[in-house]
Chain A
Amino acid sequence: MPVIVRLDDLLHDRRLTLSELADRVRITLANLSILKTGKARAIRFSTLEAICRELDCTPGDLLDYRDDGDPGAD
């Protein structure tokens, strides 16, 4: 999928672990892990909002887009 999730980089910059973020945003570790590994198919605005609030970032810091030339790829 051409949308890249930069959660790992943001966590590293802020010296936070995934489970600490999971506690703060009240999302299960399993779901955050799905997001971090780029396996998520969709993200709720509420999730995006909570992550941006806790990591003090914008959605643009969390998500990036890179055209991989495959329009049908999932």
Chain B
Amino acid sequence: MSTQPARQNDTLLLVAEWMTLLLMLLVGIAMIALAIAGIVLFLDRTNQFAEPAAQAAMSVAGFAALVVLGMAGGLVLLMLGIRFLQTMLEIIRSVGKGDPFVSANAARLRAMAWLLLAIQLGGLALGIYGQWLGKFSDSIHIKSDFSMSGLVGVLALFVLARVFAHGTAMRRDLEGTV
């Protein structure tokens, strides 16, 4: 059985691909900015954290390490975000090739669901951590989003992964049908 022809002129797919690439670029820039900010803050820790460290009854280095730890957590979440977008890009490209009902896409959707769940839970943990750190200084703002729509997205991705796995099995059956 032949697969459908590639859809190189499909506007939706083109927009989705470019949007995903743009988002990956933005997340990448955010990662670099966060890493640089973390390094600068840690190097300038005496000026930056003397006051909040005293308020938290900690050494400056200890408090700075806590802040950098929060930023590292943010970096990890952004890395998960990049991986999520990269997986989405692979799915978009497989649709463009005209052959989306493959077991690889079911696995990709499942991976995206786990990634989104990790981002949601990690974001919640980071938000709580940031709130705790923010008690010691007004200038510390570690915020992270946690939304019901994100959780619904996780569920939708898990269900879609099942749909794709089922669709792939059905297509395999159809392939040998004359």
Residues of A within 8 A of B (CB): 27, 31-32, 34-35, 39-44, 47
Residue of B nearest to A32 (CB): B178
Measured in the bound complex, the distance between the Cα atoms of B102 and A45 in whole Å is 27
CB distance from A8 to the nearest CB of B (A): 15
B5 within 8 A of A: no
Chain B contact residues, majority secondary structure: mixed
Question: Which chain B positions have C-beta within 8 A of A47?
Answer: 178
Q: Is B177 an interface residue (CB 8 A)?
A: yes
B: which residues have CB within 8 A of A? 173, 175-178
A30 to B173, CA, bound (A): 17
Cα A32 to Cα B178 in complex, Å, equals 7
**Cβ of A74 to closest chain B Cβ, rounded Å:** 9
Can you name 11 A-B pairs with beta carbons within 8 Å?
Answer: A27-B178, A40-B177, A41-B173, A41-B175, A41-B176, A41-B177, A42-B176, A42-B177, A42-B178, A44-B178, A47-B178
What is the bound-complex CA distance between A31 and B176, given in angstroms?
9
* Shortest distance between the CB of A19 and any CB in chain B (Å): 15
- The CA-CA distance from A47 to B177 in the complex, in Å, is 10
Known: A40-B176, A40-B178. 8 other contacts (CB 8 A): A34-B178, A39-B176, A41-B173, A41-B175, A42-B177, A43-B178, A44-B177, A44-B178
With a cutoff of 8 Å between Cβ atoms, the chain B residues found around residue A31 in the complex are 178
CA distance A42 to B173 in the complex (A): 8
